[in-house]
Chains A and B, each alone.
Chain A
Amino acid sequence: MRFGGLLLGSLVAAATTLAGAAYAADTIKIGFNAPLTGFAAADGKSALTGAELAVEQANASGGVNGKQIELVVYDDGAKPDQAVPVAKKMIGQDKVAVGVSGSYSGSTRAAAQVFQDSGVPYISAYAVHPDITRAGPFVFRTSFVGEVQGRAGAKLVGEMLGKKRVVLITLQNDFGKSLAAGFKEKAGDYGIEVVNEYQYSIKDRQFGPIVSKVAADKPEAIYATGYFFTAAPLVKQLRAKGVDAPVIGQEGYDSDKFLEIAGKAAEGVIITTSLDRDSDQPETKQFISAFEKKAGFGADMVAASGHTAIKVAVAAMRKLDGDVSDPAKLRDAIAATEDLTASTGSISFNPLGEVMKAVQVQVVRDGAWHRHSVIDDTALLAPPAK
């Protein structure tokens, strides 16, 4: 009886292994971690939908050398302690060829270290913390480091809009702080005087005291960092108080949800981001329409970033003709990405694995995002190289 059980057990094990091997030969797996529950679930869903779209498009156009791509998705709740086991599972159990983060900085940093230590490539789609790529040469980022976008914000406010007395409203997390740091670093160069800086937590939705103080400060412009779910109530409350100075935001605002929540108050808000709604690039135009068809709501920066990161991974695998058995070769192929056209612009990496591309400036006009301008000052936008 015992012997029989053992025999049966090994048969089952052998069958599973065989099935696994046969399965693995037909598909190439890309790991994807994103916050699908908890406070960041909205961004997680957008990023995932963007990534799924990229996978569908790649498979429809022949996959990678005939092999289909399979997206292995895990929820990390935007929490570092959930991201580590998820990363280990993707590498150890699912044997993914490459991992993509559709998550925030905390969890992305934690997962990046696991991928680096295992020697498997990892691409961060939209997390901003500078230390993510510093995990090592296997880690890449297809979006802007916070500081870089902050510097672009300073140029936008001081030079392009000509506003000099500025109040900062800063979200107290790595996203808000790194943006504000980049802004303040370059503020002096563009003749900006930072009158005051106020901090708020990601949980805040009511900004009564800050709004009252900003009204008393009478700034020429407000540089407010945040996500659509903090920034939209903030902008709405600022306008309700009669503060009409222009509000300058960033990619965190970049969602149709921002327009929906802030309503009329959203008019005139300007942001730095990486998705150009009025782009005449076929790739971007096609992404925007295909995403809307798939998701049932408008494309946003996070979705475009998830789409871009997958596209970079697929392009590298195609360069290797689908032979992803050596992760070091795949890493080199990703690093060699040059001027790859994606929905968020033209992608190339610097030696640290940071993307080099132009910053899109968008403005809300008649209840929709539109192109305001493009910042492509390469010296200003140079990402950290080590």
Chain B
Amino acid sequence: MLYLDLTLQGLIQGSMYALIAVGLTLVYGLLRILHVAHAGLFTLGAYIAVTVTNAAGSLLLAALVAVPLVGLAGMAIYRLLYEPILHRPPFVALIASIGLFICMEEGFRLVFGPYGNSFDLSPVEGSVQLGALSLQTVEAATIVAAFGLLGALAVFAGRTRIGVAWRATVTDPEMAQSFGIDTVKVRYLNFFIGSALAAVAGVLVALLNNFVEPTMGSVPSYKMLAIIVLGGLGNVKGTLVASLALGVMESFGTIYAGHIMDRDAIAFLFLVAVLMVRPQGLFGKA
């Protein structure tokens, strides 16, 4: 029973990772940029959720504001930060991204204060009973959101005309352009969807901890890099599997190896172990 509970907790954590990491892997797949500032967008989503909920009293409204707004912020980052330096070597964009991320963290601190913010009234209470296992409603919502949204994304990419154009641009941007696909629009779409998913994760984490703080993106900022490498850079399905696997590894590791190493060490040990056997990641092409 305990093992089942720990597995479930791992899947919850993994779902959270997946929602954040997918945006990162999408950006990498399209532009070969390691978009570290993505973790700042996750934080932004959480802050908007708490602020709007406290002001307007409606979590639904807050989520409806936070998700598209963060999506737009992601597009703005592409337009203002990455587009002007696209012709430079990739490390330039990486350094710019790290710089932006630090600015965002300190910006949150200046705007919202160093103490972190909470919901005035906890908007979601209660738990869901799964047989003998009990889950907080928010935890259940996290799993549903991750699978639902990423499933919808798969359908969108696979079945719609825009999705086909998107995949074509990822595979071969020049060829896609010569077939009349507007690759710049594809990039905006890419940033919008990836950032909006990170905002969803931000809203869920804010609910789960009842706490958002300026530095809440710092762990995701580097752990997501491990996950997208593990999943095979640019591979969405791989990222999902890698997130869930890492979540479950961490869940058991925290309990049974926690006195030797912390959660992050477990995650990176797992990464090293996998890369030794499969240098291209779990689902990367050799």
Binding site for B on A (CB under 8 A): 36-39, 41-42, 44-45, 172, 197-201, 203-206, 208-213, 215-216, 229, 232-233, 236-237, 240-242, 257, 260-264, 297
Determine the residue in chain B with the shortest Cβ distance to A256: B115
Q: Report B37-92 residues with CB < 8 Å from chain A CB.
A: none
Query: Judging by beta carbons under 8 Å apart, are B139 and A42 in contact?
Result: no
Q: Once the chains are docked, how many angstroms separate the CA of A213 from the CA of B214?
A: 30
Q: Once the chains are docked, how many angstroms separate the CA of A257 from the CA of B117?
A: 9
Query: Judging by beta carbons under 8 Å apart, are A212 and B115 in contact?
Result: no
Query: Judging by beta carbons under 8 Å apart, are A205 and B216 in contact?
Result: yes
Instruction: Fill in one digit per residue for B98-122: 1 if any A CB lies within 8 Å of its CB, else 0.
Output: 0000000010010001111010001
> Given B115, B127, B219, which contacts A42 in the complex, CB threshold below 8 Å?
B115
Query: Judging by beta carbons under 8 Å apart, are A210 and B254 in contact?
Result: yes
Query: Judging by beta carbons under 8 Å apart, are A38 and B215 in contact?
Result: yes
Q: Once the chains are docked, how many angstroms separate the CA of A19 from the CA of B39?
A: 48
> Given A45, A197, A200, A241, which contacts B262 in the complex, CB threshold below 8 Å?
A200
Number of interface residues of B (CB under 8 A): 42
The 7 closest A-B pairs by CB, nearest first: A41-B114, A208-B9, A201-B262, A209-B251, A233-B209, A212-B5, A199-B258
Instruction: State how many angstroms separate the Cβ of A46 from the closest Cβ of chain B.
Output: 8
Contacts of B195 in A (CB 8 A): none
Q: Report B3-61 residues with CB < 8 Å from chain A CB.
A: 5-6, 9-10, 12-13, 16
Q: Once the chains are docked, how many angstroms separate the CA of A218 from the CA of B233?
A: 43
Contacts of A237 in B (CB 8 A): 136, 208
Query: Judging by beta carbons under 8 Å apart, are A206 and B13 in contact?
Result: yes
Determine the residue in chain B with the shortest Cβ distance to A38: B215
Query: Judging by beta carbons under 8 Å apart, are B6 and A209 in contact?
Result: yes
Query: Judging by beta carbons under 8 Å apart, are A209 and B115 in contact?
Result: no
Contacts of B122 in A (CB 8 A): 263-264
Contacts of A42 in B (CB 8 A): 114-116, 213
Q: Once the chains are docked, how many angstroms separate the CA of A44 from the CA of B258?
A: 29
Query: Judging by beta carbons under 8 Å apart, are A242 and B216 in contact?
Result: no
Query: Judging by beta carbons under 8 Å apart, are B109 and A172 in contact?
Result: no
- Given known pairs A200-B263, A209-B252, the reply for A39 and B208 (CB within 8 Å) is no
Determine the residue in chain B with the shortest Cβ distance to A39: B215
Determine the residue in chain B with the shortest Cβ distance to A212: B5
Instruction: Fill in one digit per residue for B113-146: 1 if any A CB lies within 8 Å of its CB, else 0.
Output: 1111010001000010000001010010000000
Q: Is B183 an interface residue when CB atoms closer than 8 A count as contact?
A: no
Q: Once the chains are docked, how many angstroms separate the CA of A197 from the CA of B106?
A: 35
- Given known pairs A41-B214, A45-B114, A213-B2, the reply for A200 and B109 (CB within 8 Å) is no
- Given known pairs A39-B215, A212-B2, A257-B115, the reply for A198 and B258 (CB within 8 Å) is yes
> Given B6, B214, B259, B263, which contacts A201 in the complex, CB threshold below 8 Å?
B263
Contacts of A39 in B (CB 8 A): 215, 218
Instruction: State how many angstroms separate the Cβ of B168 from the closest Cβ of chain A.
Output: 38
Contacts of B205 in A (CB 8 A): 205-206
Q: Is B280 an interface residue when CB atoms closer than 8 A count as contact?
A: no
Contacts of B10 in A (CB 8 A): 208-209
Instruction: State how many angstroms separate the Cβ of A211 from the closest Cβ of chain B.
Output: 8
Determine the residue in chain B with the shortest Cβ distance to A241: B134
In the complex, 10 of the A-B residue pairs with CB atoms within 8 angstroms, ordered by the A residue number, are: A42-B114, A172-B262, A203-B264, A208-B139, A208-B251, A209-B250, A209-B251, A215-B5, A240-B136, A263-B118
Instruction: State how many angstroms separate the Cβ of B202 from the closest Cβ of chain A.
Output: 13
Q: Once the chains are docked, how many angstroms separate the CA of A33 from the CA of B1?
A: 49
Instruction: State how many angstroms separate the Cβ of B201 from the closest Cβ of chain A.
Output: 12
Contacts of B259 in A (CB 8 A): 197, 199
Determine the residue in chain B with the shortest Cβ distance to A236: B210
> Given A45, A212, A261, which contacts B6 in the complex, CB threshold below 8 Å?
A212
Query: Judging by beta carbons under 8 Å apart, are A213 and B6 in contact?
Result: yes
> Given A44, A203, A260, which contacts B218 in the complex, CB threshold below 8 Å?
A203
Q: Once the chains are docked, how many angstroms separate the CA of A233 from the CA of B211?
A: 7
Contacts of B213 in A (CB 8 A): 42, 229
Instruction: State how many angstroms separate the Cβ of A39 from the closest Cβ of chain B.
Output: 5
Query: Judging by beta carbons under 8 Å apart, are A260 and B214 in contact?
Result: no
Q: Once the chains are docked, how many angstroms separate the CA of A199 from the CA of B262?
A: 7
